[in-house]
Chains A and B, each alone.
Chain A
């Protein structure tokens, strides 16, 4: 039986359908669950292996992006969530989901202190929503989500994507940095706009918990999983047409979802 992914919806989350499509595309079973239904039946977390909080605008970003949704989850689901991440499971938060996971303290969760809120993902330095493609480099994290990935070209779309934390936390999470923004030549963005689109400290675009199984990232892999979704699709398409070549169907973002499938394949083989 293949691993099951549960993608949350409700209260303004809005990327659940394309995110589900990604998981199904790599061969996993998935379903969309409204947060109220999960609250009514938290036992469902015992039956799944992957929990995803997708992108969106939960509660309209009011009182801080991801804040109100995280409060709702904390008050009604905390014990089940804590139990879920302690098992050999994967958790993913994309964009609004990333803001929710950090507000919940599921990442970075230093010393297994799940629930401690020590990283903020706050207003872009431009105080403007930014929808644009970015270049990313995988950081020191050992996350299974990022296995074998070096760089990614996928989009961001957010008004509050700026990672902030105190110096001590920054030192402590060095090995939990999942992704950083770079220039197109893969040199660090060095907080230069638009390469780092939000002013994030140390160009951070995503972090993990210490196990690497919980990943919170601001960019959207599900919007960059197929070649036709890319901002340079028109060029790539033209180039391959001239060369009489075949355009690859998949693009960078898909690798992340494939890793999730791979993780459970591998795990299954180990137990067998």
Chain B
């Protein structure tokens, strides 16, 4: 069986990085990298194919060094997406292979050095993830004895011939119903198929329904209901009555806020498509809409950080592509909530303590790389994002990914955001093929992570397959008017996407045996709910299907008619002609029983601490700058292509001192001066005192950051992502309700409408600590608010870096004794009580004033004062501009540490050229207080408090994460 080994040159960068990582652990070694390909096709032995894989300048296919002590090979497990293997398959086809040209990739490391087997095993653990990859290790002797590494062909073969749909007997005890709901359908061999995530209440509703139909349920029907009714798809917690709020949190607080704002704004309404499509859309200008959507991909990222995050980013790209007739992705954003990568906490998923959680460092590296590969390969700039650290994210990290899209307001003289399937439209599945990957993803992400979490729920994105798909739709097919609707195949796969589209026509008929598969032997229920990536479902009038299929084929994209939308009111599926599913659409979408929720609420926090005043404020400021939540994350920004499409105006690193910015400005059209400003806000730790304060802070930060960068305050929309924990506990639900109330009030006051959102309600880890004691670690209740604003002309954008010595420094708005749950209190090991309170009316006035000033170019630089307070903001500005500052804070009557590190909301630190002083002061009046001046010295000087070299501040700010 052909196995091709291609040795890379001695100075390969990939080898160098491993050598350095080993060196950091005190192990000297030299490493050679060998790219390995296997295939069952004899043609793979041809010189032509091998030549096509070998760069003659840097690689050799005909020699292997003998000078090594260990050989470590990492390859994929059967069924895992292997993008390199996939490309090799295409090369094999180019080399003349007709069929069965499947290739598989692996990487072999030849390592020379005094290393033990344990060292190699530990390296293997760092380089691979056993959920998706195999690692084979051989000593030099074994390698020689065996004549090299073993040939591994990770082909999937399912012993599942003649798969049919099974009848499931629901006339069983409540005990058994419960087990089916939590562990899944039982197979003949006694194993369970994986969680349905259905409560007994739901199981009863299903049982009653099939009693009425007068027949047993088929497995596929039960699986379909589980997907459709999952928390992930139906957002049951946000939809259920809660206390006296009969219409539930989503309708009562989120959607109502938007409706109220739209009514109030009347003809100045910026919303076009809200909460009804895969993304939300607002007006950009006369000709274009911009769309935004932010998703989370938390549970998969805990198990396979790279796979989880790449699947997340390419998945949210599809939410953009699927907006209306298809929006072009123009900006990606990211956000990670993680445990500190420099810590090594010990937790296990199982009682026997064999199944360890991934280390915070592994998780961080993986999620960072997932967005890198996904975003970069797709040619979408990623100019901005955030990382927030808290130890409670150790078992379940939060991975946020978002995509902004651009679409003409009208396509073929029709509003581009309107879509709807019609009876008779064909169901066209386009893109990747279907495999077992991601089965039960939707139900799995709706439950707590524990040792039973299914590995099949993990998937790896294939950005190039998706890029081909996206290009055909957005750049070639969209404007031809060939389809009536489309949606993304995400959670729940076809069951969810086709089910959703069928609501338009009023029914569906799908022929599951027509769906193209990655490998034979899949059962109908698996095909229907598989979450294999890079697929869209499109509703196409029958007369256009041939043309569509041809257009896709010309671009190397597979498209297949798999069924038809109907108006029968039924969700109907066949498998080789035989009916395997036939359910009432109304029951499918509306049959889930309502679960009224009850809440309790207790204010958190401690008494305010009585901290001794710091003796050395310079040192305290440096300590603050080195805190993980404040220090630079430049290593992420430089790995993310932030200027592809040529559209970056204000990027992720600003000023000559390259400070990590919390807002970006992008010009999505090269010939149009308008810009899009983006930012996010979050303050998870504030939830320890008050989730209402946490939520208000998140919203205020998101809006203020965008305003500070120059967005028109009247042209800003927001998105909500609730990442909660233990949402079956009344206290957690009480915290949720309080947060929702807070953002209803503030968004309506600011008139910043919500246009899209997503929630993830069970971010808890259940397992065992180092002593084998049972633990549950819940993330702090977290609301991420993302903002998207329009700048009429990017010339009015404002960066955070000061521009010239002599410029005046002002602080806008008030600083109060508000350090509860602040970075400063946390550094001192205390929580406190005075969490920052929102003064919405005051902030509203300020943001309006600021927005006007931005139109007149009155402000030379601006930075929102967020985590770490005024002290940190001053330092960041000094670093960014590489300019000194003379500051005088004697006019404030707060103790210096409180003044410097309070996190009071609503504040912006700005610099103004003296030429604009008069106009600026007149414009802002009492809202602006001058506190100093930019100097050409190399120090930040705050009179009577501190004097520190900018170099020292910069070192403190940049050192902590610079080696990642």
Binding partners A and B: yes
Q: How far is B55's CA from A242's CA once the two chains are assembled, in angstroms?
A: 53
Q: Among the listed stretches A81-89, A141-149, A157-165, which one makes contact with chain B, having 4 or more residues with CB under 8 Å of it?
A: A157-165
- Per-position contact with A for B786-818: 1 when CB-CB < 8 Å, else 0? 000000001101110101100000000000000
- Cβ A36 vs Cβ B555 within 8 A: yes
Indicate the member of B55, B90, B91, B646 with the most A CB atoms within 10 Å.
B646
Nearest opposing residue in chain A for B462, CB measure: A60
User: Is A117 a contact partner of B468 (Cβ separation < 8 A)?
Assistant: no
Give A151 to B668 CA distance when docked, in angstroms.
Answer: 28
Q: Are B91 and A123 in contact (CB under 8 A)?
A: no
Provide the B58-74 mask, 1 if CB < 8 A to any CB of A, else 0.
11000000000000000
Q: What's the least CB distance linking B288 to chain A, in Å?
A: 15
Pick from A15, A37, A126: contact of B13, CB below 8 A: A126
Contact with A along B457-489 (1 / 0, CB 8 A): 000001110011001000000000000000000
Q: In the complex the two chains form, is A71's CB within 8 Å of B16's CB?
A: no
CB <8 Å contact, B641 and A10: no
A124, B12: Cα distance in complex, Å: 8
Please indicate the chain A residues that have their CB under 8 angstroms from the CB of B53 in the complex. 63-64, 67
Q: A33: which B residues are within 8 A, CB to CB?
A: none
A139 interface residue per 8 A CB criterion: no
Whether B17 lies near A59 (C-beta < 8 A) is: no
Please give, as numbers and ranges, the residues of chain B lying within 8 Å of A12 by CB-CB distance. Answer: 377, 379, 463-464, 467-468
Residues 910-964 of B at the A interface (beta carbon under 8 Å): 913, 915
- A44 is an interface residue with CB less than 8 A from chain B: no
With A and B bound together, what is the CA distance between A130 and B640 in angstroms?
8
Is residue B510 contacting chain A, with contact meaning CB distance below 8 A? no
Contact B55 A56 (CB under 8 A): no
Most buried by A among B35, B58, B378: B58
- Taken together as a complex, chains A and B put the C-alpha atoms of A126 and B644 apart, in Å, by 21
Segment of B178-186, B227-235, B649-657 engaged in the interface with chain A: B649-657
CA distance A123 to B59 in the complex (A): 12
Assess whether A45 is interfacial by the CB under 8 Å rule. Answer: no
A225 to B803, CA, bound (A): 23
Within 8 Å of chain A (Cβ to Cβ): is B648? yes
Instruction: Tell whether, in the assembled complex, residue B646 and residue A18 are in contact, meaning their CB atoms are under 8 Å apart.
Output: yes
Instruction: Tell me if A123 and B12 are in contact (CB < 8 A).
Output: yes
B55 touches A67 (CB 8 A): yes
Interface assignment of B619: CB less than 8 Å from any CB of chain A:
no
Complex: A61 Cα to B83 Cα, angstroms: 10
Task: Decide if B56 is an interface residue (CB 8 Å cutoff).
Answer: yes
A225 and B468 contact, CB distance less than 8 A: no
CA distance A258 to B391 in the complex (A): 55
B 84-97 binary contact with A (CB < 8 Å = 1; else 0)? 10111011001000
Mark each residue of chain A from 1 to 36: 1 if its CB lies under 8 Å from any CB of chain B, else 0: 000000001111011011001000000000000101
A86 to B667, CA, bound (A): 39
Question: What is the distance, in angstroms, from B897's C-beta to the closest C-beta of chain A?
Answer: 32
Q: Measured between C-beta atoms, what is the minimum distance from A67 to chain B in Å?
A: 7
Interface residues in A185-226 (C-beta closer than 8 Å to B): 199, 220, 222-223, 225-226
**CA gap between A242 and B912 in the complex, in Å:** 11
A130 touches B638 (CB 8 A): yes
A9, A36, A124, A165: the one within 8 Å of B556 (CB): A36
Q: Would A225 and B646 count as touching, CB distance under 8 A?
A: yes
A239: interface (CB < 8 Å):
yes
A57 nearest CB across to chain B (Å): 4
Q: Note all chain A residues with C-beta closer than 8 A to B463.
A: 12, 57, 60
Check: A98 CB closer than 8 A to any chain B CB.
no
Contact residues in B for A103 (Cβ distance below 8 Å):
55
Complex Cα gap A103–B651 (Å): 32
Give the contacts of B381-400 with A (CB-CB under 8 A).
Answer: none
Least distance between B60 CB and chain A CB atoms (Å): 12
Q: Mark B1-45, 1 if CB is under 8 A from A, else 0.
A: 000000001011110110000000000000000010000000000
0/1 interface trace, chain B 856-900, chain A, CB 8 Å (1 if under): 010011000000000000000000000000000000000000000
Residues of chain A within 8 A (CB-CB) of B642 are 131
Tell me if B278 is interfacial: C-beta within 8 Å of chain A: no
- Is B645 located at the chain interface by the 8 A CB criterion? yes
Is B620 an interface residue, CB under 8 A from the partner? no
The reply to whether B84 and A63 contact each other, CB–CB distance below 8 Å, is yes
* Residues of A with C-beta under 8 A to B801: 234-235
Give the residues from 763 to 801 in chain B that come closer than 8 angstroms, CB to CB, to chain A: 794-795, 797-799, 801
Pairwise interchain contact A75-B639, C-beta atoms closer than 8 A: no
Tell me whether A80 is interfacial, beta carbon within 8 Å: no
Q: Check A122 against B55 for contact (C-beta < 8 Å).
A: yes
Q: Which residue of B lies closest to A154 (CB)?
A: B643
Alpha-carbon distance A21/B667, docked complex (angstroms): 14
- Whether a CB of chain A sits under 8 angstroms from the CB of B188 is no
Interface string of B551-570 (1 = CB under 8 A from A): 00011100000000000000
- Cβ of B670 and Cβ of A21 under 8 Å apart? yes
Residues on the A chain within 8 Å of B379, using CB: 12, 14-15, 56-57
**Closest chain A residue to B913 by CB distance?**
A242
A32 to B194, CA, bound (A): 48
- The chain A residue with its CB closest to the CB of B15 is A127
Among B17, B641, B655, B798, the residue within 8 A (CB) of A129 is: B641
The answer to whether A18 touches B86 (Cβ under 8 A) is: no
Nearest chain-B residue to A239 (Cβ)? B803
Most interface-central of A18, A220, A226, A231 (chain B CB within 10 A): A231
A38 at the interface (CB under 8 A from B): no
B860 in contact with A238 (CB, 8 Å):
yes
B57 in contact (CB, < 8 A): yes
Question: Does any Cβ of B come within 8 Å of A174's Cβ?
Answer: no
Find out whether the CB atom of A127 lies under 8 angstroms from the CB atom of B556: no
- Asked if A127 and B84 sit within 8 Å, CB to CB, the answer is no
Interfacial residues of chain B within 616-664, with CB under 8 A of chain A in the complex? 637-651, 654-656
A142 to chain B, nearest CB (A): 25
Q: How far is the CA of A71 from the CA of B178 in the complex (A)?
A: 56
B377 adjacent to A60 (CB under 8 Å): yes
Contacts A64-B55, A131-B642; A242 near B915 (Cβ below 8 A): yes
CA distance A242 to B83 in the complex (A): 52
B376 at the interface (CB under 8 A from A): yes
Q: Determine the chain B residues whose CB is within 8 A of the CB of A9 once the complex forms.
A: 471
Q: Across the two chains, which residue of chain A brings its CB closest to B470?
A: A14
Most buried by A among B87, B91, B376, B468: B87
| B471, A234: Cβ atoms closer than 8 Å | no
- B-side contacts of A57, CB under 8 Å: 376-379, 463-464, 467
By a CB distance below 8 angstroms, the chain A residues around B57 are: 117-120, 164-166
17 A-B interface contacts by CB (under 8 A): A10-B471, A18-B646, A36-B554, A57-B464, A64-B59, A67-B52, A68-B91, A125-B11, A128-B638, A131-B638, A157-B644, A233-B649, A234-B650, A237-B795, A238-B860, A239-B803, A242-B913
Query: Which positions in B face A, CB cutoff 8 Å?
Result: 9, 11-14, 16-17, 35, 52-53, 55-59, 83-84, 86-88, 90-91, 94, 105, 372-373, 376-379, 462-464, 467-468, 471, 554-556, 637-651, 654-656, 667, 670-671, 794-795, 797-799, 801, 803-804, 857, 860-861, 913, 915
Apart from A10-B468, A237-B795, list 14 A-B contacts with CB within 8 A.
A12-B464, A14-B467, A18-B645, A21-B670, A57-B377, A63-B87, A68-B87, A103-B55, A117-B57, A122-B58, A131-B643, A165-B57, A223-B646, A226-B646
Nearest first, the 6 closest Cβ-Cβ pairs linking A and B are A14-B379, A62-B87, A120-B57, A234-B799, A123-B13, A18-B646
Chain A interfacial positions (CB closer than 8 Å to B): 9-12, 14-15, 17-18, 21, 34, 36-37, 55-57, 59-64, 67-68, 71-72, 75, 103, 117-120, 122-132, 155, 157, 159, 162, 164-166, 199, 220, 222-223, 225-226, 228-229, 231-235, 237-239, 241-242, 247
